[in-house]
Homo-oligomer: A and B are copies of this chain.
């Protein structure tokens, strides 16, 4: 197949990814991740408190909240704070981010505290939720390192790396890392979350146009595996840099 992508990328090519740590100064972890034109600010905040339903169990919690600045998008979207509630899409995404990050944390080792991952989209061009997961992992590690440095933890609760990418079928061709132009016109859109052991953490595939077949699903999963491998390498490089 020789379908050309709007961006001119190869079918298995990620956009330019940059991961900037310590982007803001208050949070224990603060990462600006850029996937092409998508830019998400991910902060990890440590709080020495527990949600009521977890008290007395000797373990911690990792949760996420997601937001978009009103003009992160091509036309202005209403601010959820003025609307009075988070929309269904927001809730769905922040639940996904939270589950994904909890998958790489030993909550007993974390102890009785909460880490909240706030993922705020400054600029959107497709793939904001997978960028959020990939960036939030780096912020989470930075926050845990702060706790380790403060000697608040006996052992490191991070039990693996987690990253995420979208894949899809665009004009009949499986492609990696959809940007907005592809996302708005693809037949199938799938978000995949994996760990650094090659295990699957979340798979969410949706037929936008017509239903997809098992062989397409297989091709998409192969692409996701390749892309996530690269992302985990980029996370590691970012964490190893000063």
Contacts and interface: CB of A to CB of B under 8 A. Distances in A.
Contact of A211 (B24, B76, B197): B197
A235 B100 CA distance: 35
A18 interface: no
Given A79-B118, A211-B194, A88 B85 contact: no
Q: Is the interface of A mostly helix, strand, loop or mixed?
A: mixed
Nearest to A201: B207
B71 A103 contact: no
A8 interface: no
Interface string A60-73: 00000101011111
Given A43-B69, A79-B118, A90-B81, A203 B217 contact: yes
B71 A118 contact: yes
Given A41-B69, A81-B83, 18 more contacts: A25-B37, A26-B123, A26-B124, A27-B76, A65-B82, A69-B118, A71-B118, A76-B116, A80-B81, A85-B85, A88-B92, A89-B95, A194-B211, A195-B211, A199-B207, A200-B211, A202-B206, A203-B205
Interface of A: 24-27, 30, 37, 39, 41, 43, 45, 47, 65, 67, 69-76, 79-92, 94-95, 99, 103, 116, 118, 120, 122-124, 190, 194-195, 197-207, 210-214, 217, 221
